[in-house]
Amino acid sequence: MSTELLYLTLVTAFTGLLWVPYILDRVAVRGLIDAVGYPENPKPQSPWAQRLMKAHANAVENLVVFASLVLIAHALGITNATIAGACVVYFWARVVHAVAYTFAVPWVRTLAFTVGFISQALLAWQIFVQ
């Protein structure tokens, strides 16, 4: 498996698991019955869980762009150190983004998002210049 596809798999798996902690918080805060039901006035989740839900939504939105770029490059047979490196950096940027967002670390969240965006831009650039 290429580095690009490995890191696409890792990003996808990570994004796919981000819901687990905030659902566990929902059960802890609301109880199992309300967590799986539709209570009229649900108790709000913990602030960290609310932030993780937003980080998860952001990760899903950006996964669409990242996956498309990686798969386009793969389909076109475009691979090089820049593309592989951008995929590695993107994965770690998303991990840092989720952690920084969850624990309300200012600046780090925005910096991690920006690094992820630059990684996506590098992927797109490499596709266009080939």
What pLDDT is recorded for position 55?
Answer: 97
- The burial of 85, by beta-carbon neighbours within 10 Å (0-12 exposed, 13-18 middle, 19 or more buried), is given as middle
Residue 77: per-residue pLDDT:
95
Query: What's the full length of the chain, in residues?
Result: 130
Residue 130: what pLDDT? 86
Residue 13 confidence (pLDDT): 98
Which residues in the chain belong to E strands, given as ranges?
none
What span, in angstroms and rounded, lies between the C-alpha atoms of 18 and 15? Answer: 5
Report helix angle 3-17 to 47-76, nearest 10. 160
CATH 1.20.120.550 fits 3-16+46-129, yes or no: yes
DSSP label of 55 = H
Residues 78-93: what's their mean pLDDT? 97
Give tens-digit pLDDT for 33-77: 998 999 999 999 999 999 999 999 999 999 999 999 999 999 999
| Contact present, 7 and 88 (Cβ < 8 Å) | yes
Q: Helices 19-30 and 3-17 sit at what angle, rounded to 10 degrees?
A: 10
Model confidence over 2-39: pLDDT tens digits?
999 999 999 999 999 999 999 999 999 999 999 899 99
Residue type, 50: Q
